[in-house]
Each structure stands twice: as structure tokens, then as C-alpha cells.
Amino acid sequence: MGAKNSLAGLTVVEIRDGLRNGDFTVGELVDDHIHAAERAKNLNGYITETPDLAKDMASKSDDKISRQELGSLEGVPVAVKDLFCTKGIRTTAASKILDNFVPTYESRVTENLWGAGAVLMGKANMDEFAMGSSNITSAYGPAINPWKRESDGDDLAPGGSSGGSAALVSAGVVPVAIGTDTGGSIRQPAAFCGVVGVKPTYGRCSRWGTIAFASSLDQAGPITRSVHDAAIVLEAMSGHDRRDTTSVDRPVPQFEKFLSQSIKGLKVGIPKEYLSDSLPTEINKLWGDGGQWFKESGAELVDISLPHTKYALPSYYIVAPAEASSNLARYDGVKYGMRVSDKSLEQQYSKTRGSGFGPEVKRRIMIGTYVLSAGYYDAYYIHAQKVRRLILEDFNSAFKKVDIILTPTTPNESFGLRDKLDDPVAMYLNDIFTVPASMAGLPAISVPCGLSGTGLPLGLQLIGPAFEESRLFQFGEKLERAAEFSKQPSSYVG
């Protein structure tokens, strides 16, 4: 239940206007968001809350405002996925193995946010090491989707891996949460929770200080309640960083400027490979509605083909675990994190990792180790990297004909937290529509566009050419406006 006159529930744009007009102080804003978090405890959205730090940051922000020094995110309360290193604040990656890890440095993305005036409210729950699509792999118990089916009161998955981030934004606990997306980890939970999620182009945001899962795929991005807010936050997060050689040195556009641009005469690609017999009718219908809304705004729909779409997910499940097995080798009970002591160093490594990692993380390290091992490297890893090129070339050809691509974000609505536990492959299929853009490094946005028959949110995805996030916002704003998605979840506390 929302509290009367609470400032929680305001959007970034509303906060910006309110602070400029002197309607409230950052101190008041932050207090209301601290109280909102107390009302939403049952969602388990945070692993660590930082109310004292938030009050401290708020008071500094109010000082800045009194001097007329407003950053682009001045005073905006933000939840940060617990995968970003925050100096002096415990950062767990939702893993037992990092339960006591307190970084001595700040990630570049969060540094950018604080530089723009944002206020840290806490570290959001997630799947362990960002591996999962439901939040059930978190060592701290899953975050819970603020939405419920109309027919029952069962706890539903917020999606993953940035499930805590999406749940907190959806419930009105924060206007902004930062997530990471490797194969869909921002877009899928955003769709499940009825909020906006953006995965920028690979290289747009620095990965420095973000705990690595699959380095050639990982990207940070915003989760917000509006397309406009996402544009403001992404601009603040982005930018070149010499400490990450894959971060790209090119100007960051003023994304906000593109929101109002017309899409008249522009071409929207509809890829036939995303249509399957198993796609629920209501999702197919919503996808059709999305195309119709674009037509009504003056855009043209173009049928396109991305022939290697079905191979994106299986090749992802070679590339991502391979990189993960290498990245997670560092958790050895020597440099940081937990240790299970043994008199043999070899045994100490194995026992530490055997007890510190959860089942899904172990599974992926095992697959990664197997596909990289002698005799299998070419057959699996190199083969998957070649398929990855074909996926990229599919998109390159498509973007010669169209300006943007429209698809559903997920092949299904959210599911019960107890479902799908037994079959890893069934869980992996959640990302079937989000993984292709990840493999090609392309920017994509999920916009909430409607409700399923059971009353749960459904999202549509827009995929743009590399470094054309501007187009995501330009088209995303039209989608948002036409869909008029305004329903709030039953656990809304703003």
C-alpha cells in the first residue's frame, strides 16, 4: 500500500522538476524512499540497504542545490545491483563466496552516477553472479515480483538476473535501479515487472569495477518506470573509461532530445524467426499491436529475416559459460571472499569453491571448463564464436533495410518462484528473444506494453544498430505513449 503524500513513486523527471521548483528537499525525498523500502521488505529486493549513507548523500545534495549546482541526477534515489563494486559497502554478487567482500574501490558506472548527483539507497538482489532468469539462484533468497496473478496470490519470479532491481522500481521503492545484462538480465526482469529496461551497446558503459560474468557480453544499464527516465539515466552512466579497453571513446548523445522526434517514414523490422508455434497468442497479438501503433505514428513495417536466431541461445550457452569459467577462477579463497581451510592448498581451493558457489554457478563453470578443455575447444568454443559472427551478420544485413527491430521481450509472462526448478534448459529459454542482440552487442530496450490474461505485465523489445540508443528512446517513447501502460502492481508502495 502506498503512503499518502509520499514522494516515493515520483519519476526522475518529476524529481528534477520538484527539486528545481523547491517543492521538496532531497532529505525529504530520501526519507520517503527509506520508508517505502520498509513497506516493501517482503519483496526481498535489497541485499544491503544503506539508509545512513543515503541521508548523508542527501544532505550534501541539498547543499549543492542551495548553491544552484544541480547534476543531471541530482538527489535521485538509486538502487544498484549488488554486482557493482561500491567502495566501503559490502558487494556480494548474491553469492556466499563473496558474503564478506567490501570493495576498496568504486565501479566506474556508480562513480558516474554519484558524480551526477544520484543517491545510493542500497544494493539490489540478483541471481548469483548474474546467472539466472528468476532470482532463485540468489544466496540471499529470491526477490519477489510485486505483481500477482489475478487468480491466486502465489509469489512470482521478478525475472533475472537483475530481478531485485526490477522489483524495486516496479513497486515504487526507487525511481531508478541499475542492472547488468549479459543475455537479457535487464530486459527480461523489466518485462516481468512491468518497467522499462535498457541494455546499451557493448562498450557504451565501462565495465570497470563491475564483477565480471561473461566479459564479451556484460553491459550495465538502467531500469526505470518511463522511457524518458531511462534516457536521462543512461546518459549519466555512459562514457569512455581508460581502465576498460572495451569501453568506446565516442561522444554520448543527449538521449533526451530524441524522445520527441517523429518516426514518420522510418522502417520497423519484424523478424519472422521470432514467431513460433509455441509463442502464446496474447504475446503474438501484443507484438502485432506494437507494429500497428508504429504504423499509426507514420512508420512503415518491413518483414525481415534473421536466419540464425535459433542458434543464438545455444551458442550463448557455450560463450558465456566459457568466459564465466575463466572469470570466476579468481574466487579461490586466497585473495578475497570466503575460505574453507584445509592443510592442502589444492583441497582448500576445491572445498572453498565447492561450498561457496551455488548449483547454477557450478553448472556453468563446469560447462565452460568442458567446452574450453583440450580436444573440445575447436568443436565447441570456436564453433560458437563462428555462429556468433553469423548472428551479427544477420543483424548487419537487416539494418541495411530497417531503422529498428521490434520483437516481444520474452516468450512468456512471469512464473511461480517454485516452477522450472528442475530443468536448466527450460529456464534458459526465457532469454530466447533477448540473447540474439546480446551476442551481436546491440542496444535494446524493453517497454511494458500490456497485461496477460492472468493480469501480468508483458513487454515489447526494440533492437537498434550499434551505438544508436537514441533510436531506442525515439521509438520507445512512441510505444510507451500508444500502449498507455499505467497499471501498478498489487505490492506498490510508492
Partner 1 sequence: MDLDKETVASVAKLCRIEIQEQDLTPMAQELSNILSWIEQLREVDVSSCEPLSSVVEAELKMRDDTVMDGDLAEDVVGNAPDSTNNYFLVPKVIE
Nearer to partner 1, 27 or 253 (CB): 253
* Interacting positions 90-109 with partner 1 (CB under 8 A): 100-102, 104-105
C-alpha cell at 301: 513495417
Q: Which of the stretches 252-260, 298-306, 314-322, 409-417 binds partner 1 when contact is defined by CB under 8 A?
A: 314-322
Q: How far is the CB of 10 from partner 1 (least distance, A)?
A: 36
Task: Provide DSSP, 155-216.
Answer: -B---SSSHHHHHHHHTTS-SEEEEEESSSTTHHHHHHHT-EEEE--TTSS--TTBPPS-TT
Q: Is 48 in the site for partner 1 (CB under 8 A)?
A: no
With binding defined as CB under 8 A, does residue 246 bind partner 1?
yes
In the complex, the smallest distance separating the C-beta of residue 269 from partner 1, rounded to whole angstroms, is 19
Binding to partner 1 by CB under 8 A, coded x per residue (else -) over 340-379, reads -xxxxxxxxxxx-xxx-x----xx-xxxxxx--x------
Number of residues lying near partner 1 (CB under 8 A): 72
The residues annotated with a catalytic role in the active site are 81, 161, 185
Segment 102 to 161, residues that bind partner 1, using CB under 8 A: 102, 104-105
Contacting range for partner 1; rule: CB under 8 A; set: 153-161, 228-236, 306-314, 402-410: 306-314
Out of 203, 221, 271, 457, name the contact with partner 1 by CB under 8 A: 203
**309 grid coordinates:** 536466431
Residues pairing with 197 in the sheet:
223, 446
**Binds partner 1 by CB under 8 A, chosen from 13, 71, 267, 311:** 311
Q: What order of strands is seen across the sheet that includes strand 196-199?
A: 46-49, 119-124, 77-81, 176-181, 219-224, 196-199, 444-451, 457-463, 404-408, 267-271, 300-304
Residue (137 or 491) nearer to partner 1, CB: 137
C-alpha–C-alpha distance, residues 161 and 184, integer Å: 8
Task: Compare residues 140 and 380 and give the one whose CB is closer to partner 1.
Answer: 380
Could you tell me if 433 and 259 are in contact, meaning their C-beta atoms sit under 8 angstroms apart? no
- Of residues 276, 303, 334, 453, which one binds partner 1 by CB under 8 A? 334
Q: Return the range that interacts with partner 1 (CB under 8 A); candidates 25-33, 231-239, 337-345, 449-457.
A: 337-345
> Which C-beta is closer to partner 1: that of 23 or that of 423?
423
Rg (CA), the chain: 21
Instruction: Give the separation between CA 269 and CA 155, rounded to whole angstroms.
Output: 36
What nine digits make up the cell of 428?
534458459
* 216 near partner 1, judged by CB under 8 A: yes
Under a CB-based contact definition with an 8 Å cutoff, are residues 307 and 271 in contact? no
Distance between CA atoms of residues 194 and 290, nearest Å: 16
Among 44, 165, 325, 327, binds partner 1 (CB under 8 A): 325
Orientation angle between helical segments 469-483 and 281-296, nearest 10 degrees: 100
Closest approach of partner 1 to the CB of residue 8, in Å:
34
Compute the least distance from the CB of residue 385 to partner 1, in Å: 3
Q: Which is nearer to partner 1, 275 or 379 (CB)?
A: 379
CA atoms of 51 and 66, how far apart (whole Å)? 22
- Strand, coil or helix: 366: helix
Looking at residues 392 to 451 of the shown chain, list those that interact with partner 1 (rule: CB under 8 A). Answer: 392-393, 423-425, 440-441
